[in-house]
Structure 1
Amino acid sequence: MTKRVAFITGSASGLGRQMAIALAKEGIHVVLNYVHSQEKAQQTAQLIEEKYGVQVLVLQGDVSQKAAVTEMIAKIRDAFGRLDILVHNAGPFIKEQKKVQDYRLDEWQAMVDGNLNSYFYLLQETLPLMAQNKWGRVVAVGFNQVNTTPAWQYRGAYAAAKSGVASLTKTIALEEAAAGITANVVCPGDIKGSYKEMTIEEAIKNTTPKQTQRVEVGDDVARVVAFLCQENSTFISGSVIEVGGGQDILAKRNRESSN
């Protein structure tokens, strides 16, 4: 069987890097995407090629720009002649706490363009390629409880855009089912810093007897993404999957914001 091809946005480092590695382990060719982190992207590509023996294409491009998305998908088509899997991991986040009324227009637009509009651009370019082969997997990254359109204090623009992503994903799951395409959202927990590129085995080794639960790492999320992209994961679609150890992470963040 011809090997599948996956495009993972924002995959030079962090969670996206772990997702690319997880898919490469499954024998899937991967397309890495970055905006500024060229060196990290090349390092990730080299690791994947040497360790897993799949083909890797590295593309620079800002997915919030429609023209950049069109150009990247054209390059994927030229290189592989197909695209089977889209994992939309990229998405800007404003670290500064802000009330909705305090957002500048350009900040609001950046959150919507980077998180929601980018997803729309990607879907319009990739779904027809998947439909040609009557097979496709779409996975978007959300946040804790995005399925309930929750309030996220001082993160209103990001939360609104990602909630739109969840709704759009469910719509795609219905519209594209006949084309053999599934669409799901994966919601990471509170994964910080170097933990984003850590494996589960490393996390277990770093867990002390006093801890009631080990820390969540990027590998936890990447394994779920890889599972959703498997050949037999046909009937899992329109789902929003929490990968947060059963914790109410959003409530914790809202409490921290209020202090």
Structure 2
Amino acid sequence: MKGKTALITGSAKGLGKMTALALAGMGCDIILNYVRSADEARLLAARIERMGVRATAFQADIAVREDVDRLAAEAQAWAGDGVVDILINNAGPFIRERRLFAEYAEEDLIGLVNGNLLGVMLLDHKLIQGMRRRRWGRIIHFGFGHAGEGRAWPHRAVYATAKTGLVSFTKTLAVEEAGNGITVHMVCPGDIRGMNKERTIAEVTGERDAEAPRGRPGSGEDIARVIAFLCLPQSDYLTGNIVDVTGGFDPIKTTI
């Protein structure tokens, strides 16, 4: 993967950080993105550069159209040849507090849809042109466990609607761009919380999670390994997949 450039949104911390480290370990140059975590992003960029690849960090909120425009332009300029080869759409607002749809403030409704669906589509639209010219690209969207089934998820109506809309877009874009050498997938993490998002599989092995059918908590490495595999050149026969990485956990059944 040496010479490939990867942009990972929301990557100063958490699952995005672990994904950035995994792709850097494969030889990719890394573009980090953050909203408020500037210090963490700078430290991570320095850590990645010590791995022998290039790294930078740009501030942008994917829920804000102007920020998406700016991030795309900055990423393409930094890539040198104007092409971002790999786009990992990790960023996406989520409100953990359970709410009925009627209880959402209008600005929260708009922010959730923009951050989880429209902003993702806009960033894809801007960066896919370079991938088409090179006839190679990898796009990964983030969902939630069982998003592909489109079931009702009470108290998560707005988030679930945005992500299930992204399911359809993922499958459609995968078919449209397959002939251009671009693959598109959605990775759907389980309920990985807190610092577990930045832990390895070895670090969580042996711990117990009563809600997880697998028996152990999920880790950031669980997600990063799947993404790394899907980004490989040899994974080009796979596209349009909705991949649940949940240890068997079903967030919808758990929260109803």
TM-score (ref. length: structure 1): 0.93
1:201 Cα deviation (Å)?
1.3
Taking the TM superposition and a 5 Å limit, the aligned residue runs for 1:64-83 are: 64-80=63-79, 81=81, 82-83=83-84
Q: How far, CA to CA, are the matches of 1:84 and 1:63 in structure 2?
A: 19
Q: Which amino acid aligns with 1:27?
A: G
- Please give the secondary structure, in 1, of the residue aligned with 2:30: strand
Q: How far, CA to CA, are the matches of 2:125 and 2:131 in structure 1?
A: 11
Q: How far, CA to CA, are the matches of 1:38 and 1:179 in structure 2?
A: 35
* Alignment match, 1:27: 27
- Please give the secondary structure, in 1, of the residue aligned with 2:233: coil
* Alignment match, 1:134: 135
* Alignment match, 1:198: 199
Q: How far, CA to CA, are the matches of 1:155 and 1:207 in structure 2?
A: 29
- Please give the secondary structure, in 2, of the residue aligned with 1:232: helix
Contact 2:147 2:167 in 1 (8 A): yes
Q: How far, CA to CA, are the matches of 2:204 and 2:102 in structure 1?
A: 40
Taking the TM superposition and a 5 Å limit, the aligned residue runs for 1:214-233 are: 214-233=216-235
* Unmatched tracts of structure 2, length 5 or more: none
* Alignment match, 1:257: none
Q: How far, CA to CA, are the matches of 1:113 and 1:215 in structure 2?
A: 30
* Alignment match, 1:180: 181
Aligned-residue RMSD, C-alpha: 1.6
Of all paired residues, the percent bearing the same amino acid is: 39
Q: How far, CA to CA, are the matches of 1:251 and 1:128 in structure 2?
A: 40
Taking the TM superposition and a 5 Å limit, the aligned residue runs for 1:80-95 are: 80=79, 81=81, 82-95=83-96
Q: How far, CA to CA, are the matches of 2:123 and 2:151 in structure 1?
A: 25
1:253 Cα deviation (Å)?
2.1
Q: How far, CA to CA, are the matches of 2:247 and 2:97 in structure 1?
A: 26
| 1:143 counterpart = 2:144 | yes
Q: How far, CA to CA, are the matches of 1:30 and 1:17 in structure 2?
A: 11
Q: How far, CA to CA, are the matches of 2:86 and 2:114 in structure 1?
A: 22
1:95 Cα deviation (Å)?
2.1
* Alignment match, 2:5: 5
TM-score (ref. length: structure 2): 0.94
Q: How far, CA to CA, are the matches of 1:10 and 1:243 in structure 2?
A: 19
What does the per-residue CA deviation read over 1:195-244, in whole Å, with 9 as the maximum and x for residues that have no partner? 0000111112x536x99622111110010011100111101111000101
Q: Which amino acid aligns with 1:77?
A: Q
Q: Which amino acid aligns with 1:59?
A: F
Q: Which amino acid aligns with 1:171?
A: T
* Unmatched tracts of structure 1, length 5 or more: 255-259
